Amino acid sequence: MGEPTRRDFLYLATGMAGAVGVVSVAWPFIDQMRPDASTLALASIEVDVSSLEPGMSLTVKWRGKPVFIRNRTPEEVKAAEEVPMADLKDPLARNANLGTDATASDLDRSAGKGKENWIVMIGSCTHLGCVPLGQAGEYNGWFCPCHGSVYDTAGRIRKGPAPQNLAIPTYAFTSDKVIKIG
């Protein structure tokens, strides 16, 4: 191998110019795939639940979807706890705060020990994405009138065509009266 020639330099310079050109053309296409500021702002929300007495519900919007927050009565909690696991269509909790193998027990679907009365769920029917009606249906939970899916007070599918329990997003109580979703 000899000394580099002028031709070697021209090949190298042309290759570098081509690479810069490709990157400058491709960058706008790559950059447009990032989420915009309004989407990032919705990544998490804080909800004040201080006005929710037992038996009351609140629906908020998070990431373009309705989220049901319910302060269940002691009777609703007791009824949900007494449901045998064998009676459930979907045995999994579908709770983003727990492992994927968590069972659909009332405790695993609720906000956890000491806050069993609180339930937070994404309010989209798992059949076709309709928004179920609250405090309706045979189990006084949620009822999707579009195709007849019935959920109990823990958001577990009990009857109808829906294949899964209502999903539970990642959330945490930041204080006794504020829930951070996302």
pLDDT score of 69 more than 80: yes
CATH placement of domain 40-181: 2.102.10.10
Q: How buried is residue 176: exposed, middle or buried, by Cβ count under 10 Å (0-12/13-18/19+)? A: exposed
Question: What is the rounded distance in angstroms from the CA atom of residue 109 to the CA atom of residue 169?
Answer: 11
As a whole-number percent, the residues of the chain with pLDDT over 90 amount to 55
Contact of 123 with 67, CB cutoff 8 Å: yes
- Point out the residues that are catalytic: 147
Under the banding of pLDDT at 50, 70 and 90, the label for residue 36 is confident
Token pair, residue 143, equals 């009822």
Whether 122 contacts 66, CB under 8 Å: yes
What's the chain's average pLDDT?
89
- Taking 80 as the threshold, does the pLDDT of residue 138 lie above it? yes
Cα(56)–Cα(60) distance, integer angstroms: 14
The predicted pLDDT at position 40 comes to 64
Paired tokens of 116: 């069993």
Q: Which helix (H) or strand (E) holds 167?
A: none
pLDDT tens readout for residues 86-108 = 989 999 999 998 988 899 999 99
20: pLDDT strictly greater than 90: yes
pTM: 0.74
CB 161 within 8 A of CB 127: yes
Domain boundaries, the chain: 6-34, 40-181
Q: What is the pLDDT of residues 152-179, one digit of tens each?
A: 999 999 999 999 999 999 999 999 899 9
